[in-house]
Structure 1
């Protein structure tokens, strides 16, 4: 395994899960305090597990790249480019190709674009949220031609 990242919910989402648990307590409390506490614990744990376990994973090995439900062999992976801030917004908005595979999470702003070179695949690239676009870019671009002019042989 060269890289692995779970696109789990951000801090704000976890606060909302706790708030849902507190709200469940107030719904169950008129029946009894015990019911309210049990409802709060069950709702908080259940929502937390659902969100965490359903979070997509970015995984890079020497053999394949996986982003969420999409997987491709490394031989068909082209160059990768990371984006942050305004560049990430533009990459996921005005410059987005509708044929691209997308795996976005609203709580993760940076993006990584991974070019797909498989001639049988109509998907030109994958665009995914990631907390570490530079690390993924470094791993996937290692040993690849980065747009430098080719040397001519005389």
Structure 2
């Protein structure tokens, strides 16, 4: 396995406001448990905040990587030789491709809080997936890393 000249790694972290929402979930649990006393109130605050924070963290722990001759997007691992052209999507086009233009057979790694995306054609004739839709904050850089990895694999 040959390492690509332009390695790429991105973690699709949840926005900062989600951490505030996690705290507010804890406050909600605390208020629900308020009639039962101080200790249940504190337990609700800590427990509710912790559960909401774990949920936000796990949702934002998805990674997109180009490693060697493969694209790893979440749980999917695709050889770059099976990928075609990559199209950088601006926020408006990204919204269109994740809503009314979407193909039900496509692989979507989307996070609605990330406005830009990359659409990559799948050229493998044995794969029914027509394209990959990848939410990314740096679509140009990811497209360049895929081109570099494809050229290095040839």
Q: State the TM-score, normalized to the length of structure 2.
A: 0.81
Deviation per CA, 1:78-109: give whole Å up to 9, x if none: 22222122122223234333321112112111
Q: Mapping of 1:5-154 within 5 angstroms?
A: 5-55=10-60, 56-142=62-148
Task: Please give the per-residue CA displacement for 1:31-78, whole angstroms capped at 9, x wherever unaligned.
Answer: 222321222112111221123124422121113112122211122122
Q: With a CA cutoff of 8 Å and minimum separation of 6, indicate the structure with the bigger relative contact order.
A: 2
SS at match of 2:71: strand
> For the Cα contact (< 8 Å) 1:79–1:144, is it kept in 2?
no
Q: Structure 1: where are the runs of 5+ without partners? A: 146-154
Q: How far apart, in 2, do the equivalents of 1:63 and 1:42 lie?
A: 43
- Could you tell which deviates more after superposition, 89-98 or 15-24? 89-98
Q: Rg bigger for which structure? A: 1
Residue 8 of structure 1 and its aligned partner are, at CA, apart by 2.6
Aligned pairs, number: 145
